[in-house]
Structure 1
Amino acid sequence: MGCCTGRCSLVCLCALQLLSALERQIFDFLGFQWAPILGNFLHIIVVILGLFGTIQYRPRYIMVYTVWTALWVTWNVFIICFYLEVGGLSKDTDLMTFNISVHRSWWREHGPGCVRRVLPPSAHDMMDDYTYVSVTGCVVDFQYLEVIHSAVQILLSLVGFVYACYVISISMEEEDTFDFIGGLDAHSHYRDHVELKPVKPVEISNDIDSEMRLLDLS
């Protein structure tokens, strides 16, 4: 009963993680954030693997999901530190785009209440993409929206880690119990089979008696 409840909870949690990861992937694509895009892609694959393992009762797949949740929490903690500029990190660097472009988070210009104005470029700033954009009136700054997204991912991953460990432990206990009972049944069946095996009577051939009679007559 406990295993079924844990598996159902883990299935629902994996489905919720998939939805949240897909939502985040869409906005990271819009912002050309290549590092988060790659991370989200791997996360979606592993969550699908964990969902399949939970439904099909494959503990090994759930173990892979459990290990990944720990790595996913670490990655999202790094993202939070990046946008809050902790430890010398700067949200204005091109780290999230692998230094390929100068794009920033999509929420920087499209957050709640943000008013985006395109300014005329100056001659000495022709190569700066964001010199021409002015964003004002944002209710929540983009870095805090990214932090909220990462915090949600961390929360879901921690809960998923707990449920996954619970399902794995219950599954291992059930497998051990099944093997123990199955071993006893096999031993009992073998013993009963040996004890109840009928003994085949030995038939004595009459050829020897016939030969003895012939010798006596001679």
Structure 2
Amino acid sequence: MGCCTGRCSLICLCALQLLSALERQIFDFLGFQWAPILGNFLHIIVVILGLFGTIQYRPRYIMVYTVWTALWVTWNAFIICFYLEVGGLSKDTDLMTFNISVHRSWWREHGPGCVRRVLPPSAHGMMDDYTYVSVTGCIIDFQYLEVIHSAIQILLSLVGFVYACYVISISMEEEDTFDFIGGLDTHSYYQDHVELKPVKPVEISNDIEPEMRLLNLT
């Protein structure tokens, strides 16, 4: 009963993680945030693997999911530190885009209440440079929206870690109980200890035919 409850909870949680990861992936694509895009892609794959392992009773797949949740928590903690500029990090660098472009978070210009204005460039400037885009009136700054997204991912991952460990422990206990009461071990025991006695071939005597002939003659 406990295993079924834990499995159902883990399945629902994995489904919720998939939805949240897909939502985050869309906005990271819009902002050309290549580092988060790669992380989200790996996260989606591992969550699908964990979901498959939970449905199909594959503890090894759930173990992979458990290890990944710890890494995912670490990555999202780094993102929070990045946008809050903890430890010398700066949100204005191109770290999230692998220094390929000068794009920033999509929420920087499209957050709740944000008004975007493109200012005329100078003689040495370019229109696609973000120094010539003015954003005003945002209800919540983009860095806090990114922090909220990462905090949600951390919360879901921690809960998933707990449920995954619970499902793995219950599965291991059920396997041990099955072997103890006479499962696969008992079956193999009887196979190993059954004595096979040789069967002697039965010889059919040919003396019956002459006797039958004598009876017919008489």
CA pair 211-32 structure 1, distance change in 2 beyond 3 A:
same
SS of corresponding position for 2:124? helix
Q: How far apart in 2 are the matches of 1:125 and 1:17?
A: 42
Partner of 2:204: 204
Which shows bigger deviation, 195-204 or 80-89?
Answer: 195-204
Q: Could you tell me how far 1:211 is from its partner in structure 2?
A: 21
Deviation at 1:179, TM superposition (A): 1.2
CA distance in 1, matches of 2:155, 2:83: 18
- 1:162: Cα distance to partner? 0.0
CA distance in 1, matches of 2:110, 2:217: 123
SS at match of 1:196: coil
Deviations 1:118-168 (A, max 9, x none): 111011333771122100000000000000000000000000000000000
Displacement of 1:112 in angstroms is: 0.1
Q: CA deviation at 1:115?
A: 0.2
Q: Give the stretch that moved more between structures: 206-215 or 132-141.
A: 206-215
Aligned length: 218
Deviations 1:10-42 (A, max 9, x none): 000000000000000000000000000000000
* Aligned Cα root-mean-square deviation (Å): 4.9
- Cα distance in 2 between the residues matched to 1:42 and 1:193: 50
SS of aligned partner of 2:173:
helix
Deviation readout 1:64-91 (Å, 9 max, x if unpaired): 0000000000000000000000000000
For each residue in 1:157-210, what CA deviation from the matched residue of structure 2 results, as whole angstroms up to 9, or x when unmatched?
000000000000000000111112225983799499979999999999999999
CA distance in 2, matches of 1:33, 1:192: 61
- In structure 2, distance between residues paired with 1:157 and 1:176: 28
Give the Cα separation in 1 of the matches to 2:180 and 2:16: 37
Which is further off, 34-43 or 196-205? 196-205
Classify the secondary structure of the residue corresponding to 1:182: coil
Q: TM-score, normalised by structure 2?
A: 0.86
Paired residue secondary structure (2:194): helix
How far apart are the structure 1 equivalents of 2:17 and 2:128?
Answer: 37
Distance 1:200 1:188, change over 3 A: farther
Contact 2:179 2:186 in 1 (8 A): no
Contact map agreement 2:14 2:51 (CA 8 A) in 1: yes
Structure 1 residues 78 and 189 mapped into 2: Cα distance closer, same or farther (>3 Å)? closer
TM-score normalized by structure 1? 0.86
Give the whole-Å Cα distance in 2 for the aligned partners of 1:149 and 1:101.
23
Percent identity reads 94
- The gaps in structure 2 that reach 5 residues or longer are none
Gap change, CA 1:192 and 1:18, over 3 Å in 2: closer
Cα–Cα, structure 1 residues 44 and 210, in superposed 2: closer, same or farther, change >3 Å? Answer: same
